Chain A
């Protein structure tokens, strides 16, 4: 029997924007069933890497595989297994929350019964049932994250790729989302999230990858990456390099 392929595999990803090498040979392996946290400072290339890996941005070289299916050469099989929450992209803004989820479910070819059941569950589970008749364009930032997450879940994918899923989400909803994602990984699903909040990643993720200046600096289980440091934050600062301490500005007394 061949070994099970990893849930998500990024190999040799490169992307250059003008003079800037935004992503420089990124290799990452997300084992099946893991809760993977991708961390890095602002502008490190996290979003660019994930956008290329799910098939929304063409890499200069390299690619990604979802359970062995190549995102760029076998897109139909790969895309049927992933659910994605990109950061800051538009949605069909003039639909209500319920209409959006119904649309996404039908687009994936679910039958009428499944559509109704899943949409009801997601709206209630993510606390969106009060906003179900509000147009997406009127949603707050946190609600956009939640409806986006619901959209990523509706076709029951085996891998979730979530870009900054907890940004702007209130603490109560964040707890709910963590619970949903944990249940998902406990049931055999795999999750990749990007974040720059170390404490959160340390709390929920069992695997971590550290990206800075477009390169992978460390990857592995949370313990491995933490190494001898007291916490992930210290390990991260050690890897990325601590900035010169700024004492404050003289004119801002």
Chain B
């Protein structure tokens, strides 16, 4: 049975798309090799604490990743085997064994080999201990992830469970933001990385890292190396016992999942959304808003995402208060809005093929997009404003007013526009909502979209922030007011314009989106899409004249519509990486100007003195060129009458056989 399940998993992998696996595997492998390098190269006095911390990060990613992403690997679901006459123990073994097939576990196994390379530094006995510790650590990490995801899945059936899951995810996110901000604050004075590398993680944190199950292997190896084999044996037995406990808990959760329904009993219309609904207009847009409010309240997946965004803001405030770094508090509302945009960038995919009702109602596409935008504003913005204003008033930090007044409107508009545009253009389709099976969390994995949208939000909030900075530091009140006006206008324009691009796209390419949501990208990213795109572009030549007024948005629509697969790939690569040189250049430039002597991870600062400034400027230029290239793809002007099919795109002319692409379509 176990062998059969492993072969099933292999067959599923063979029939699926390999691109994601390749990319994910390559990134994971790099991180795993870096982990091994830490164990080999770190100074002897700091290596144990460092490795325990790094493995702790692996564990946290395994535990939190699936429930905040796509609900974990659901290719083999326990329900499939509910009717098989096999004992639960066999089923569990099969599920566990099949979850080892794929990319993530081998990558983690490579990372765990760091225990062995660490042990070599400690001697023979430690190496023998590591031989046992490596597989046990991998099994414990995978089981922790499985049990946690299953517990979240089970908890999601109740309101309180959703709340607890949201707080857990939000705590990790808030800690991430806070660590980043604290790091930025501290690294003005010291080089945090060099300090960590040479002196190790300081006492309470390294103890915590060793106390996590991922650290027990490290503990065992060190104990064996320092001549206390009994402690080493104890740690190994502890790992084994913990694995068995996890297995038992997982068994209970799987049994419950197989034998009970996935949704709770029907709930009446109570709560804020119900009150809000009475004030909605009874027209089509009001109907969409009512539907969306209901769904944000009742769909466990969306309810979770809503709460993660809100709780993260609240927890950032709490952490700021508790460590006395109150400058973070006015920013909590901004973080909330940014997360709200990230959390709702996949709403069309979460609703699945329900899109057909919108496509079949005359003129409903515009109302659907606008209704979703308005709901997003209703759900997320008032509370973000409240948190920010409350935070400023409560902590008395009046310096924050102009910054927030300029950046928040821009960010709200960008969030309302970009999230719905991403939802229409680049969904991450998952299982259909009425075929979730036993996991209410199951959904597509939008992590690629996250990595593109987050830097985009930063870019959108940069101009008003820069203008505010100019006004505040030069003491010119007029510039401050101009910055606020700029932020408001930018927000209005982005929210309105990108929403328009989104609904126009839905009107012209709704059936293709529906196909993608039903059957995934592989089934639809084929010939007919590009074909219809070309037909559209030829049609657009005629109608361009009367749309001069909003030429930029019209161009964006048309270019997105006619995007060739090569331009699309270039756009995705640029979108994922353009912020790196910009960040490196800006941070290095500030470092050079402020005279910081700790290069941290900013590459130009590692160069000899005279080369630093040119390198930083070069980084900025590289980033600007990348942004320019993206803008060129997105906003390129209408081509002159194309001489033939396949030649309407600049990138196509580089094709060695342009004639062949024409006939191939």
In angstroms, Cα B512 to Cα A56, docked, is 8
Of A30-38, A83-91, A118-126, A222-230, the segment with at least 4 beta carbons within 8 Å of chain B is A83-91
Asked if B106 is at the interface of the complex by the 8 Å CB criterion, the answer is no
Q: Which of A60, A106, A137 is the most central at the interface, judged by chain B CB atoms within 10 Å of its CB?
A: A106
With A76-B362, A133-B268 given, is the CB distance from A58 to B354 under 8 Å?
no
Asked if B474 is at the interface of the complex by the 8 Å CB criterion, the answer is no
The answer on a CB contact under 8 Å between B290 and A103 is yes
Asked if A135 is at the interface of the complex by the 8 Å CB criterion, the answer is yes
The answer on a CB contact under 8 Å between B291 and A91 is no
In angstroms, Cα B434 to Cα A94, docked, is 10
Could you tell me which residues of chain B, from 323 to 356, have a CB within 8 Å of some CB in chain A? 351-354, 356
Q: Which B-chain residue is minimally distant from A115 (CB atoms)?
A: B282
Could you tell me which residues of chain A, from 81 to 102, have a CB within 8 Å of some CB in chain B? 82, 84, 86, 89-96, 99, 102
The answer on a CB contact under 8 Å between A137 and B263 is yes
**Contact partner, A90, options B286, B297, B354, B528, Cβ 8 Å:** B354
With A106-B287, A109-B283 given, is the CB distance from A56 to B511 under 8 Å?
yes
Asked if A134 is at the interface of the complex by the 8 Å CB criterion, the answer is yes
Q: Which A-chain residue is minimally distant from B292 (CB atoms)?
A: A92
Q: Is the interface of A mostly helix, strand, loop or mixed?
A: mixed
In angstroms, Cα B266 to Cα A124, docked, is 20
The answer on a CB contact under 8 Å between A109 and B284 is yes
The answer on a CB contact under 8 Å between B352 and A106 is no
Asked if A54 is at the interface of the complex by the 8 Å CB criterion, the answer is yes
The answer on a CB contact under 8 Å between B362 and A79 is yes
In angstroms, Cα B464 to Cα A35, docked, is 63
Asked if A188 is at the interface of the complex by the 8 Å CB criterion, the answer is no
The answer on a CB contact under 8 Å between B363 and A76 is yes
Given the complex, which residues of A lie within 8 Å of B364, measured CB to CB?
107
Asked if B648 is at the interface of the complex by the 8 Å CB criterion, the answer is no
In angstroms, Cα B506 to Cα A75, docked, is 13
**Number of CB contacts from chain A to chain B under 8 A:** 108
Interface string of B257-294 (1 = CB under 8 A from A): 00000010010100000000000001110111011001
The answer on a CB contact under 8 Å between A89 and B354 is yes
The answer on a CB contact under 8 Å between B361 and A107 is yes
Interface string of A42-57 (1 = CB under 8 A from B): 0000000000001111
Given the complex, which residues of B lie within 8 Å of A57, measured CB to CB?
511, 514-515
**Contact partner, B356, options A56, A99, A106, Cβ 8 Å:** A56
**Contact partner, A151, options B352, B357, B528, Cβ 8 Å:** B357
Distance in Å: Cβ of B15 to nearest Cβ of chain A? 14
With A86-B356, A90-B432 given, is the CB distance from A58 to B528 under 8 Å?
yes
Asked if A177 is at the interface of the complex by the 8 Å CB criterion, the answer is no
Given the complex, which residues of A lie within 8 Å of B532, measured CB to CB?
58
Could you tell me which residues of chain A, from 133 to 156, have a CB within 8 Å of some CB in chain B? 133-138, 144, 151
The answer on a CB contact under 8 Å between A95 and B263 is no
Could you tell me which residues of chain A, from 6 to 55, have a CB within 8 Å of some CB in chain B? 17, 54-55
The answer on a CB contact under 8 Å between A106 and B282 is yes
Interface string of B282-311 (1 = CB under 8 A from A): 111011101100110111000000000000
Distance in Å: Cβ of B261 to nearest Cβ of chain A? 8
Distance in Å: Cβ of B286 to nearest Cβ of chain A? 7
Asked if B574 is at the interface of the complex by the 8 Å CB criterion, the answer is no
The answer on a CB contact under 8 Å between B295 and A94 is yes
Given the complex, which residues of A lie within 8 Å of B291, measured CB to CB?
92, 95, 99, 103
Given the complex, which residues of B lie within 8 Å of A84, measured CB to CB?
356, 360
The answer on a CB contact under 8 Å between A90 and B282 is no
Asked if A4 is at the interface of the complex by the 8 Å CB criterion, the answer is no
Given the complex, which residues of A lie within 8 Å of B284, measured CB to CB?
106-109
In angstroms, Cα B358 to Cα A79, docked, is 11
Given the complex, which residues of A lie within 8 Å of B361, measured CB to CB?
79, 104, 107-108
Given the complex, which residues of B lie within 8 Å of A77, measured CB to CB?
362
The answer on a CB contact under 8 Å between B294 and A95 is yes
The answer on a CB contact under 8 Å between A99 and B294 is yes
In angstroms, Cα B263 to Cα A55, docked, is 33
The answer on a CB contact under 8 Å between B283 and A106 is yes
Asked if A247 is at the interface of the complex by the 8 Å CB criterion, the answer is no
With A76-B363, A107-B367 given, is the CB distance from A89 to B286 under 8 Å?
no
Q: Which B-chain residue is minimally distant from A52 (CB atoms)?
A: B511
Interface string of B150-170 (1 = CB under 8 A from A): 000000000000000000000
Distance in Å: Cβ of B131 to nearest Cβ of chain A? 48
The answer on a CB contact under 8 Å between B362 and A92 is no
Q: Which B-chain residue is minimally distant from A78 (CB atoms)?
A: B362
With A94-B295, A107-B367, A109-B284 given, is the CB distance from A135 to B356 under 8 Å?
no
Could you tell me which residues of chain B, from 481 to 522, have a CB within 8 Å of some CB in chain A? 511-512, 514-515, 518
Given the complex, which residues of B lie within 8 Å of A89, measured CB to CB?
353-354, 356, 518
In angstroms, Cα B432 to Cα A240, docked, is 34
In angstroms, Cα B356 to Cα A107, docked, is 13
Q: Which B-chain residue is minimally distant from A96 (CB atoms)?
A: B266
With A80-B362, A89-B356 given, is the CB distance from A94 to B266 under 8 Å?
no
Distance in Å: Cβ of A8 to nearest Cβ of chain B? 15
Q: Which A-chain residue is minimally distant from B295 (CB atoms)?
A: A94
| Known contacts A93-B299, A107-B287, then 14 further A-B pairs from the complex at CB < 8 Å, ordered by chain A residue | A54-B360, A56-B360, A86-B356, A89-B353, A89-B356, A90-B434, A91-B434, A92-B291, A92-B294, A102-B287, A104-B357, A106-B282, A106-B283, A107-B288
Residues of A within 8 A of B (CB): 17, 54-58, 60, 75-77, 79-80, 82, 84, 86, 89-96, 99, 102-104, 106-109, 111-112, 115, 133-138, 144, 151
Residues of B within 8 A of A (CB): 263, 266, 268, 282-284, 286-288, 290-291, 294-295, 297-299, 351-354, 356-364, 367, 432-434, 511-512, 514-515, 518, 523, 528, 532
- In the complex, 5 of the A-B residue pairs with CB atoms within 8 angstroms, ordered by the A residue number, are A92-B294, A107-B364, A111-B282, A138-B263, A144-B434
